[in-house]
């Protein structure tokens, strides 16, 4: 089944790992083995991988930093794709305000790059542990900012290897949603337009926001951030707390004492335990507060 994928380890810019534990690639530290974990470093290698996946009709999952992801204890029967090498490069355009960033680059390196070039607009993303691609896919946001405010275009490759560029008005960005959400396109690069500012001013806003995160969020535990989306007119954490669920625990999964919107892995939580806790929270909140909480966290292998 995987012979052709395995043969790609002989081409340049491509690494193929067998039975790679997904717990090593998710911020939840949960997840069994992926049949194949393929790292690609350039467009050519990516195209070859996609061709093979199409030929062999293999299930594909594009991984960012795994910071919004819950993976089954049994893992994933298919190919997990990780963007490395060229897809981590960050460059500044000649206009001095547009940054082109590989989808595999971390948001933290993107934020630092912007700061070092005295460009403001991305401070909100400092502390979000995702990739640039994952942030565009989810329209990640925090503290009044979101990717929508800064994205000017996104480059992507479809499963049949076609490259395309989508501009801001085609990205359909809204709360934790983009035109890519639920689709199969692979985001390869993003372009953002920022505003010239002072390095000290940018750094000071970044410091302020990271402090707020440390105060409010259980960063000492593995998690995937906010487990639930913000229901219209409410805050998920407040509803969960009102329903007496703060600290509620199933196995190693716990509703964080520090921030009820986070389900944390206290040590050895399994995917099953997290799922049971999610279902319990949804049930109780619906019964008591008549609000159906939708998950923000995405699932793989379930
Ligand atoms: C402590 C903590 C704090 C957080 N705070 C915030 C916050 O303030 N705001 C916020 O919005 N989120 C927050 N998150 C959640 C998460 O970091 C974001 O949703 C982030 O954008 C996910 O990016 P990722 O690269 O980790 O994506 P992953 O978790 O790897 O993947 C998420 C989805 O994006 C898709 N995807 C990833 N890369 C690509 C690509 N190149 N092409 C196509 N699809 C892709 C995946 O297939 C998957 O469907 C937090 C998480 C943690 C653990």
Closest atom of ligand 1 relative to the 61 alpha carbon: 47
* Predicted local distance difference test score (pLDDT) of residue 3: 94
Supply the pTM of this predicted model.
0.96
Domain 3-85 carries which CATH code? 3.30.43.10
Give the Cα separation of 213 and 14 in Å (integer). 36
- pLDDT band (50, 70, 90) for residue 206: very high
Angle, helices 199-216 vs 107-116, to 10°: value is: 150
197 has catalytic annotation: no
* Predicted local distance difference test score (pLDDT) of residue 252: 98
* Predicted local distance difference test score (pLDDT) of residue 195: 98
Q: Which residue has the tokens 């089944």?
A: 1
- The per-residue pLDDT for range 44-75, each reduced to its tens digit, is 999 999 999 999 999 999 999 999 999 999 99
Question: Which whole-number Å values give the CA distances from 52 to 2, 190, 193, 286, 295, in the listed order?
Answer: 9, 25, 36, 45, 33
Ligand 1 — pocket residues by CB below 6 A? 27, 61-69, 83, 103, 128-131, 133-135, 137-138, 140-142, 180, 186-187, 217, 219, 223-225, 298
Q: What is the average pLDDT across 170-179?
A: 96
Catalytic residue selected from 20, 123, 146, 296? 296
* pLDDT(175) > 90: yes
Cα within 13 Å of Cα(77), Cβ side: 4
Q: What is the average pLDDT across 156-167?
A: 96
Q: What is the average pLDDT across 269-297?
A: 98
Q: Helices H, strands E: what count in the chain?
A: 7, 19
* Predicted local distance difference test score (pLDDT) of residue 10: 87
Distance between start and end Cα atoms, the chain: 21
- Total residue count of the chain as it appears in this document: 302
198 contact partners, CB below 8 Å, separation of at least 6: 118
**Average pLDDT over the chain, rounded to whole?**
97
Burial class (CB within 10 angstroms; exposed 0-12, middle 13-18, buried 19+) of 268: exposed
Catalytic residue selected from 120, 226, 256, 260? 226
**Using an 8 Å Cβ cutoff, are 142 and 209 in contact?**
yes
Residue 279's nearest CA partner among 267, 265, 266, 263 is: 263
- pLDDT band (50, 70, 90) for residue 34: very high
**Using an 8 Å Cβ cutoff, are 168 and 153 in contact?**
yes
Domain 89-201 carries which CATH code? 3.30.465.10
Give the Cα separation of 133 and 274 in Å (integer). 26
- The per-residue pLDDT for range 183-197, each reduced to its tens digit, is 999 999 999 999 999
* Predicted local distance difference test score (pLDDT) of residue 246: 97
Q: Specify the CATH architecture of the domain 218-300.
A: Alpha-Beta Complex (3.90)
SS3 9: helix
Closest atom of ligand 1 relative to the 222 alpha carbon: 53
Structure tokens at 41: 């470093």
Residue ranges of the domains in the chain? 3-85, 89-201, 218-300
* Predicted local distance difference test score (pLDDT) of residue 129: 98
296 has catalytic annotation: yes
Give the Cα separation of 299 and 108 in Å (integer). 24
Catalytic residue selected from 29, 36, 115, 176? 176
């Amino acid at each position: 089944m995987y012979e052709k994928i395995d043969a790609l380890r002989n081409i340049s810019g491509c690494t193929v790992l067998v039975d790679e534990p997904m717990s090593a690639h998710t911020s939840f530290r949960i997840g069994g083995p992926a049949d194949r974990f393929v790292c690609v470093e350039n467009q050519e290698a990516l195209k070859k991988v996609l061709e093979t996946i199409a030929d062999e009709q293999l299930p594909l999952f594009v991984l960012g930093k795994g910071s919004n992801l819950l993976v089954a204890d049994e893992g994933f029967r298919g190919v997990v794709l990780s963007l490395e090498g060229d897809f981590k490069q960050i460059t500044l355009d000649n206009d001095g305000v547009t940054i082109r960033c590989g989808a595999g680059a971390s948001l933290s390196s993107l934020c630092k790059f912007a700061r070092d070039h005295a460009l403001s607009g991305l401070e909100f993303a400092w502390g979000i542990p995702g990739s640039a691609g994952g942030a565009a896919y989810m329209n990640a946001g925090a503290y009044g900012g979101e990717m929508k405010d800064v994205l000017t275009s996104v480059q992507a490759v479809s499963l049949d290897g076609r490259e395309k560029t989508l501009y801001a008005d085609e990205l359909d960005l809204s709360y934790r949603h983009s035109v890519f959400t639920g689709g199969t396109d692979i985001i390869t690069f993003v372009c953002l337009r920022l505003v010239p500012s002072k390095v000290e001013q940018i750094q000071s806003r970044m410091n302020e926001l990271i402090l707020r995160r440390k105060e409010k969020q259980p960063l000492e535990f593995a998690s995937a951030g906010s487990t639930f989306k913000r229901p219209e007119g409410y805050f998920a954490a407040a509803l969960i707390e009102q329903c007496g669920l703060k600290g509620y625990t199933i196995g190693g999964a716990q509703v964080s004492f520090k921030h009820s919107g986070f389900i944390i892995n206290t040590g050895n939580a399994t995917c099953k335990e997290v799922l049971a806790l999610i279902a319990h929270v949804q049930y109780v909140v619906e019964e008591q507060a008549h609000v159906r909480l939708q998950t923000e966290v995405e699932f793989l292998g379930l």
